[in-house]
Chains A and B, each alone.
Chain A
Amino acid sequence: PIIQSMASNKRAQHEMQAHSSGGPPPPPQYPDADAGADNEEKPPPPLRKPSDSKFHQQKLPAWQPLLTARSVFPLFFLVGAAFVPIGAVLFTASQSVKEAEFNYTNCRDASGISCLEQANKPDYYRWLRPPCVCNMSIHLPDNLTGQVFAYYALTNFYQNHRRYVKSRDDSQLLGWKPGSEEPLQDCSPYRQDPGSEEPLQDCSPYRQDPGSGSWILPCGAIANSLFNDTFQLFYHSPTAGADLAVEVPWTSRGISWASDRERKFGRVKNFTGTSKPPNWRLSPEQRSADSFQGDEELIVWMRTAALPSFRKLHRIVLHNASSAADWFKDGLPSGNYTLLVNYAYPVNAFSGTKSFVLTTSSWSGGRNPALGIIYMVVGCLHIVLGALFVVIHIQASKNLRSSNNEDQQTIRPVFL
């Protein structure tokens, strides 16, 4: 019956072909009552006959790969052969990136007071006092050739906390909302200046209406927690004598994404009726005449980091600045530097650290050997597995052969 059903199937197909080859299929004819006997003899057309297409009959040609040792080991070797070099290249690229990180969390000011503790006081952070200025002598062991970027790095700072991440109002930053307009609910508690005496009373110079509780612009926790340490880097050139320190010229222009600058941060025309974020020392207008579009530090800060340990691009070293003469033309030379930090940002409460990072970059990004290592490891893993599967394949085909030799009947139970 299988043969039969196949035969009948073929016959059906044949009939269908016959139909189709002979032009369009004849229109269905219904036996007419008045028609003669000829009509009655014809069977009624198959009105409900399914289509004989390969699609309908589930006979579409299909590639049916089966994952066996034999089909897998070439793939594994191939992947291994590709991944190990990729990993090696990545690793070298990453290693070629020179980077120097200076943790200044525990630095002390000239009088030996720990800035960390100082900054932990709220009024420090709020720039009510002159910041704790700390001087850090740092040493660059290698030349940083090429474009050098200055980052600050924070650890244990959860910029990716849910309440933090959503605590912003993009419309405000775009300048779409006039200052008097209500910011998003998400910005609370840094949404509305409560207007109370404590602890924000000292904001009064920047508050238009001390009693009323005006809207904060830009609102939200992100803006409010803007990183506010400032840095100055001086190079002690070995040729220029110990006393001469050349300030490394750098700029904050270009540290933010162009797309953010152009489309996500606008110009606020009117700050009347708004308050600055309580933690800010300066009002937005003071920070940048072109606020917020010109306030690139803010823009960078507002792009919240993915992980609790992160860096933010702070400055781009200007290698062609006239003031710096030739020293920084090819990057930062190795040697001694002094990092002058206006230390205000409190990290004590969350046991965070602050660092200042000088780094170059490569096509593969910053210095991060992880990806290269992973690539190499995975590549090797593939090669090892590929080899294992070669063995398995040989073993299996041996089994098969032996069973074939024994007339296909005595297949020994294969182990494993």
Chain B
Amino acid sequence: MGNRCCLPCRRNAKQGPSTRLIEANFRFESAPDVPAEPNPNHQFANNYVRTTKYSLLTFLPLNLWEQFHRFANVYFVFIVVLNFMPEVSAFAKELAPIPVLFVLSVTAIKDGFENYRRYKSDKKINHQSCRVYRQSKNCFVDEEWQNLWPGDIVRLHANEVIPADILLLHSSDTAGICYIETSNIDGETNLKQREVMRGLDLRQFNPETFTHTVEVEMPNTDIYRFDGSVRLNGKDNIVAIHKENLILRGCTIKNTDVLEGMVIYAGPRFKRSKLERQINKDVIWCVIILFVTCLFGAVGSGVWLSGFVTPETVIFLSLGNDTASSPAVQAIINFWTYIIIMQAMIPLSLYVTVEFVKLGQTIYITNDLDMYDEEKDIPAECRALNITEDLGQIQYVFSDKTGTLTENKMEFKRCSIMGHDYEHSPAQIQPQKRDSRTSINSQKPILDSTTKKKEQMFNNSVIDSPADDSGAPLTTLHASPMSGIRGELASMSFQPSSGDRQTLFDFFLVMSVCNSVVVSMNKNQSDPETTQSQPRLAAVSNKKKKSKKSKKKRRRGNSRDGDNGESDREQPRRRNGNDSETDTEATRLRQRHRRDDQTSAAVPEDAPDDVADPSTTRKKRRRSLSRQRGGLAELPPLGDGRATTTTANAGFSAPNDEVGTPVRGRAGRARRGRDGGDSGVEECRYETHVATPNLYQRYSDSTLLESYVAESPDEAALVKTACEYGMKLVQRGPDFCSVWLPAQGHVTIEVLHVLPFDSDRKRMSVIVRHPVTGQVILLTKGADSAIFSRLKEEDSNDPSSDADRILLHTKLHLDQYALMGLRTLCLAIRYLGNEEYADWLAEFRRAERSIVGREEAVSRTIDQIEQQLQLLGVTGIEDRLQDGVPDTIASFRAAGINVWVLTGDKQETAIQISYSARLVTEAQRLLVLNADTLAQTEDKVRRYLQEIDCTYNPEYQIRQRRERPAIRDDLALVLDGGTLRHCLEDSLKFDFLFLAEQCGSVICCRATPSQKAAIVSLVKENLQMQTLAIGDGANDVNMIQTADIGIGLSGQEGMQAVMAADFALARFRFLKKLVLVHGHWCYDRLARMSLYLFYKNCVYIMMLFWFQLFNGFSGQVHIGQLYQVCFNLTMTALAPLIMGILDRHLRADILLANPILYSDAQNCRSYLPWHFWFNILDAVWQSMVIYFVPHLVIVNSDCDIWSFGDIVVSAGVITAVAHNALELRGWTGIHWFAIIGSPIVAWFGFALVLNVICTNCMHPDNPYYVIIRGVTTSQFWLPQLLIPFLALLPRLSVRAFRNTLRPNLTAQAMRLQSLPRHRANPHLPLQTPPKSFPGPPPSMSRVGSMRFPSAPALRRLSVAWLGSGGGGGSLSKRNSMAHPASQGGGAPDRSESASAVDIRAGSGRSRREFDSGSRHHKRSRSLGASQRIRRPSVSFVNAGGEGVTMATTVC
């Protein structure tokens, strides 16, 4: 039963009919006495979810089939089959399959385990219950999800998850809409609106009457499109249904009490895991080595045999018939024998061990406390098991900005209305913020010459600008506080007023109305997730404060509100830094409201007892609304007093019966639901009446602020701010919204249209009808680029309008906000004439109805009306940087990782955030790349290339990365989306890449998701770099999936990024440890382990090979078969496994404090190509020692082959383990056990037992008593002592030699970390090994650059080359100062940086450059005393024990 497809069913477009017909299921229920009519829907898949790959029956064949897709497995099976041929057989037939069976079964067990876990989670999902209408019982009964079929009519309640794709038939909402959250599908946590299909009676829904046939398209992959129709019975009528009527499986119902719908598509979605990336070219070398060895042996055997004149008389040649004794035939046969005995050259154990190791590594990553977010209770998560080591080689990091670098928690900061700048509630600024603020002010980025000009103009205009209303002149950005407006607003109403006052009012009107914010009153009660996450987030941001303080505040808040349930949720707002003021303000306001209410003739609502009588207000509202609605007949009636907001919050409304019932009822249902049984039947009774709470309660500010559920945090910030200033959004319906005004009380505004936001339009509008004048108004907010181009051409002759000045000022403010790192939105309004509107409406309706190209037509019409706008003002919203972001980015830069920011945000904002995130430093010159056309872009790119004086080679793309331009850290590239589009053109992309590659940082603004992905793949494919993409939202998914490693932040914007990612983190700063520590560790471990396994296999093979020289190349082995099998599988398996999982060469704090160490991993220092050959060579030497020492010992003795083999294999095991011990970097108890234990237990113990019990087994190498006899002789033991020392002598010497005279960074760090003084201070004085320079030092006089964080390394490096002549700078010796940047703070003064720019040579990246060998450097080095380096002296001020503030001075 169920759906077997492994792709999402709804997405799986099948051949055959393009639509499916569904009828309501209940009609086909079999009554006890009537034979069931065959249900037509049962041809469709039911809702049984199956993400498992195998069932019990199919497990074995399917799993084997999958495993045999792997080259290695096929190879080993081939070996096994080969061994069955008697001519070539080298192993007993029972033994040969052991290795491959072991591998297959280990993998099978792993797969089986995973499958079982999936099965369990499936089971949990499948057994969730929902209520399905059953005719037999005449009500909705509980049914498990898996039993849903298309056609079932289900009833769902608020906060329930949708079990299948359903067609919305009825909603408890009067307007027939419901809200859903789609975070499970696309990661967006905002609420989306779905509406009941038209043509049904919205008030009454009886499943019995729904006998219509639904025709829908077949399941397909596009979740954003849906079309279908319903054939209404009785009437010859077809009603079209759209995606607005469909709710996809996995959504959560919000704000809607009850809804009913019909299942249309049932079945699961299933995400396939990424393909394994297991291509290792060294395995191919192994194949080649294997082939050569075998060929050598085969030829050798032929030659050897042909050396006998009369082979048939040679008594030890038992060749049988004549043909077999011919040398050529023997050579061919022997070739295959060699393949069998030397099969281990293909490191089978590598495949197994690597799987285990990666598993272990992921467990460690998941378990890291430093990457565990206590606030959200989210540990790091490894979603992809097989790319841990890639983390250690990241060269490019692509980061989203909003929500990734920043908190994505918006705070309203500034606004500019009518050219006046206002600052919102200036209150205490947190230390960290102050820090960034000072840096912002001190920074004067060389943006563009235009910026400077603008500044100039701004200052000029400021001088002669008149003082604004509050009397503060507009001289600085420290503008008048917005509280001044409050007074203005308090007296305003919808009565048209004049000029500025009207603009002010409109401004706030747009803020509060033009959005998709929903007022959700029962959210607090019913949504545990939101209620949990909010206080946690609050706590995160509170971290910087003294904890005592915040506790005190919380307590204060509690006592004041008298509402404990709310207190925690108050925190986010309180954090805004205006708690005291807001609160007093709020009280003041409330008092004023009260006064106003008494005087105004509007609806009385202040006193709590008003709640008792909701009907009056309701009726009043309805009257006014219906009056206004006029001729809009198509719109559904509002219903009889049902409200979107449902159960009232007991915290603020007095409980009354009506409200209380459903609460109790639901609680009761939940309890009964757990009990099971016939609960469903019982329930039917109560569910027929759903209580409706009062719509017009007088909400407290805090309640209101908490009730806003917004699509984007920006909107929430706007609405909340508007609310704080008096214009309170109280309710939003599908076609109306209510605001509360201090002067007017409740006003319901009819919303005619919502023209929603999308990233192409970059704006959203609502069209409302003025509640008083009835005029149609278009309210718009959007990005400046979208708004400014649509402003009304002001009549410049009109002196009174003063529009030019306002526009100019507004633009200046806009730029200033952006420079401050604020997110800006422009608000605009347009008053429409009635005819104008009517014309447009007609066109809009037409567009809506059009079948072909509907969306294009609609957007065209929308575009038409969003013209001739009148600018109201600009808002500035701050999105705070996450903790630790500057530090993380600085560390990455120090580690030689390029960080690119790809954001959809505005350019100035992005630049500003980049400054505060230390992505761009003051020392850097910004190359701004803004152009409109391709030609322009090309011109600019070329010009920049010329300007930075890099020899641009038009054959760059042909050179295929042979030479890499030096990174110039004094450059940062900034470009916007439009330019980016041109840059990605084929003709320009290499030039662009060439430019971008040389810039220390790159910031791409206004980038679309696909552009983000395009950039990532551009770098990944053309530069062949390891890329990492990190993001938190659905718009980052493309990028995350494109990059080599995708990281999802499980943050504000839901789970989609996480679902697509390979790793999931809770905070951006965790990335530092993930990459710098875990990545380094994983890479280092895995690299060393892989090399070791190559070595081990090679040693083993060569041990066998040398023997061939003395047995006529016959393919005989001297090591018992079982030992051969076990040599890799058990005897030497544990130690490398431990090395791969546990070995730790450097402490985490060392790695974090010295990011330059990362370059060792990044540049594959642990596994360079020559390492492989070095290991192979070493293996050859060691195997020679292992073989020939025993050989010389037993030559001319009566030693038999198996005793000899025991000596050799024993020496081999000991040497291999000793080699492993030499490779270990840190010995814990587990290491000791693995190193000491594995030869003792797995070799000696095993061999002794085998030698005792095996009397007649293992033909022909019967091991009976061989080793027991062996261990009693000195011939056995004396080589064991000697061989490891002799075999490891070269390695030991070379290692010691290098570590002493040319320590690489890791070796230096390892040496230093053991010193006691570095226990406390992890910053190590590392020296870049001079060996890295091939030939004369490259000239870096201009190409070389200031890499601020790695200054000490640079300094040493440069000094090293300068000799004593360049030294003697007055440098502070304080070690703690070594990496100021990595300690999170202080930007150096610019003059300081300027003098430091010329430091030659560089950090990890530069060295990589040098390593890459044949590079020519055109510039001669210009060195001198002028390049003496000065460092900023940085002093730390420990603020309150937690926050670290830094003051920077020049020394």
**Interface of A toward B, CB cutoff 8 Å:** 1-9, 12, 31, 33, 37-38, 40-41, 43-44, 46-52, 56-72, 79, 83, 86, 90, 120, 122, 125, 151, 153, 157-171, 174, 176, 184-186, 188-190, 220-221, 224-225, 257, 259-260, 263-264, 279, 300, 303-313, 346, 349-350, 363-366, 368, 370-371, 374-375, 378, 381-382, 385, 389, 392-393, 395-396, 406-414, 416
B1201 & A165 in contact (Cβ 8 Å cutoff): yes
Choose one: A184, A303, A363, A371; the contact of B1259 (CB below 8 Å). Answer: A184
Q: What A residues does B1204 contact at CB under 8 A?
A: 306-307
Q: What A residues does B1149 contact at CB under 8 A?
A: 2, 6
8 further A-B contacts with Cβ under 8 Å, apart from A365-B1274, A413-B1361, are A47-B377, A125-B315, A304-B1200, A389-B1293, A406-B1367, A409-B1356, A410-B1363, A414-B1301
CB distance from B551 to the nearest CB of A (A): 11
A416 & B364 in contact (Cβ 8 Å cutoff): no
B1300 & A70 in contact (Cβ 8 Å cutoff): yes
Q: What A residues does B1285 contact at CB under 8 A?
A: 79, 83, 378, 382
Give the contacts of B1226-1240 with A (CB-CB under 8 A): 1226-1231
* Interface residues as binary, B563-578 with A (CB distance below 8 Å gives 1, 0 otherwise): 0110110000000000
CB distance from B307 to the nearest CB of A (A): 9
A225 & B316 in contact (Cβ 8 Å cutoff): yes
A378 & B316 in contact (Cβ 8 Å cutoff): no
A40 & B564 in contact (Cβ 8 Å cutoff): yes
Q: What B residues does A164 contact at CB under 8 A?
A: 316-318, 1114
Choose one: A72, A162, A263; the contact of B1264 (CB below 8 Å). Answer: A263
Nearest-CB residue, chain B, relative to A45: B377
* Interface residues as binary, B737-761 with A (CB distance below 8 Å gives 1, 0 otherwise): 0000000000000000000000000
CA distance A374 to B416 in the complex (A): 90
CA distance A407 to B1296 in the complex (A): 26
B372 & A49 in contact (Cβ 8 Å cutoff): yes
Choose one: B320, B372, B1255; the contact of A264 (CB below 8 Å). Answer: B1255
Choose one: B1286, B1296, B1441; the contact of A72 (CB below 8 Å). Answer: B1296
Choose one: B319, B374, B884, B1262; the contact of A5 (CB below 8 Å). Answer: B884
Q: What B residues does A57 contact at CB under 8 A?
A: 367-369
**Shortest 8 CB-CB distances between A and B: which pairs?**
A37-B564, A221-B318, A62-B1226, A259-B1265, A306-B1204, A410-B1367, A162-B1116, A162-B1114
CB distance from A128 to the nearest CB of B (A): 15
- Among B1069, B1200, B1293, max chain A CB count under 10 A is at B1200
A389 and B568 in contact (CB under 8 A), knowing A33-B667, A46-B374, A83-B1282?
A: no
B372 & A68 in contact (Cβ 8 Å cutoff): no
B1282 & A40 in contact (Cβ 8 Å cutoff): no
Give the contacts of B376-396 with A (CB-CB under 8 A): 377-379
B379 & A50 in contact (Cβ 8 Å cutoff): yes
A409 and B1355 in contact (CB under 8 A), knowing A3-B1383, A163-B1114?
A: yes
Choose the segment among B165-173, B463-471, B773-781, B1186-1194 that binds chain A (4+ C-beta atoms closer than 8 Å).
Answer: B1186-1194
Q: Would you give 22 A-B contacts (Cβ < 8 Å), ordered by A?
A: A4-B883, A46-B377, A48-B378, A49-B374, A60-B1229, A67-B1295, A72-B1296, A159-B1201, A221-B315, A225-B316, A257-B1265, A259-B1269, A263-B1265, A303-B1202, A309-B1195, A349-B308, A349-B314, A371-B1192, A392-B1300, A393-B1300, A410-B1362, A412-B1364
B1300 & A4 in contact (Cβ 8 Å cutoff): no
A160 & B1116 in contact (Cβ 8 Å cutoff): yes
Q: What A residues does B1281 contact at CB under 8 A?
A: 86
Q: What A residues does B1292 contact at CB under 8 A?
A: 67, 72
B286 within 8 A of partner (CB): no
Nearest-CB residue, chain A, relative to B1362: A410
B1118 within 8 A of partner (CB): yes
Q: What A residues does B847 contact at CB under 8 A?
A: none
B1114 & A161 in contact (Cβ 8 Å cutoff): yes
Choose the segment among B986-994, B1306-1314, B1391-1399 that binds chain A (4+ C-beta atoms closer than 8 Å).
Answer: B1306-1314
A305 & B1110 in contact (Cβ 8 Å cutoff): no
Choose one: B313, B1197, B1289; the contact of A366 (CB below 8 Å). Answer: B1197
CB distance from B574 to the nearest CB of A (A): 15
Choose one: A3, A68, A72, A264; the contact of B1256 (CB below 8 Å). Answer: A264
CA distance A264 to B1300 in the complex (A): 56
A174 & B1198 in contact (Cβ 8 Å cutoff): no
B1373 & A378 in contact (Cβ 8 Å cutoff): no
B1356 & A382 in contact (Cβ 8 Å cutoff): no
Q: What A residues does B1116 contact at CB under 8 A?
A: 160-162, 165
A371 & B536 in contact (Cβ 8 Å cutoff): no
CB distance from A150 to the nearest CB of B (A): 12
Q: What A residues does B1199 contact at CB under 8 A?
A: 305-307, 310
CA distance A67 to B1288 in the complex (A): 13
B369 & A264 in contact (Cβ 8 Å cutoff): no
A221 & B1301 in contact (Cβ 8 Å cutoff): no
Q: What B residues does A44 contact at CB under 8 A?
A: 377, 532
Nearest-CB residue, chain A, relative to B1258: A170
CB distance from B1376 to the nearest CB of A (A): 10
Choose one: B367, B1148, B1227, B1274; the contact of A63 (CB below 8 Å). Answer: B1227
Choose one: B321, B1112, B1299; the contact of A68 (CB below 8 Å). Answer: B1299
B1228 & A9 in contact (Cβ 8 Å cutoff): no
B887 within 8 A of partner (CB): yes
B320 & A189 in contact (Cβ 8 Å cutoff): yes
Choose one: A9, A62, A350; the contact of B316 (CB below 8 Å). Answer: A350
CA distance A285 to B1199 in the complex (A): 28
Nearest-CB residue, chain B, relative to A63: B1227
A279 and B1368 in contact (CB under 8 A), knowing A158-B1114, A412-B1360?
A: no
B1356 & A411 in contact (Cβ 8 Å cutoff): yes
CB distance from A214 to the nearest CB of B (A): 18
Q: What A residues does B1020 contact at CB under 8 A?
A: none
B1327 within 8 A of partner (CB): yes
* Interface residues as binary, B1018-1050 with A (CB distance below 8 Å gives 1, 0 otherwise): 000000000000000000000000000000000
B270 within 8 A of partner (CB): no
A414 & B86 in contact (Cβ 8 Å cutoff): no
* Interface residues as binary, B1322-1343 with A (CB distance below 8 Å gives 1, 0 otherwise): 1001010010000000000000
Give the contacts of B1172-1223 with A (CB-CB under 8 A): 1189, 1191-1205, 1222
CA distance A332 to B368 in the complex (A): 76
Nearest-CB residue, chain A, relative to B564: A37
CB distance from B1349 to the nearest CB of A (A): 12
Choose one: A1, A31, A69, A392; the contact of B1383 (CB below 8 Å). Answer: A1
Q: What A residues does B370 contact at CB under 8 A?
A: 5, 9
A385 and B314 in contact (CB under 8 A), knowing A2-B1152, A306-B1203, A370-B1193?
A: no
Q: What A residues does B337 contact at CB under 8 A?
A: 162
B1360 & A413 in contact (Cβ 8 Å cutoff): yes
Q: What A residues does B129 contact at CB under 8 A?
A: none
CA distance A406 to B1373 in the complex (A): 12
CA distance A408 to B146 in the complex (A): 72
B1189 & A374 in contact (Cβ 8 Å cutoff): yes
Choose one: A43, A225, A396; the contact of B535 (CB below 8 Å). Answer: A43
A381 and B1368 in contact (CB under 8 A), knowing A5-B370, A69-B1297?
A: no
B1197 & A389 in contact (Cβ 8 Å cutoff): no
A350 & B308 in contact (Cβ 8 Å cutoff): yes
Q: What B residues does A225 contact at CB under 8 A?
A: 315-316
CB distance from A221 to the nearest CB of B (A): 3
Q: What B residues does A413 contact at CB under 8 A?
A: 1330, 1360-1361
- Among A33, A67, A168, A174, max chain B CB count under 10 A is at A67
A68 & B1356 in contact (Cβ 8 Å cutoff): no
A365 & B1197 in contact (Cβ 8 Å cutoff): yes
A382 & B1289 in contact (Cβ 8 Å cutoff): yes
B104 within 8 A of partner (CB): no
Q: What A residues does B887 contact at CB under 8 A?
A: 1-2
B366 within 8 A of partner (CB): yes
B379 & A161 in contact (Cβ 8 Å cutoff): no
CA distance A389 to B370 in the complex (A): 42
A371 & B568 in contact (Cβ 8 Å cutoff): no
CB distance from A168 to the nearest CB of B (A): 6
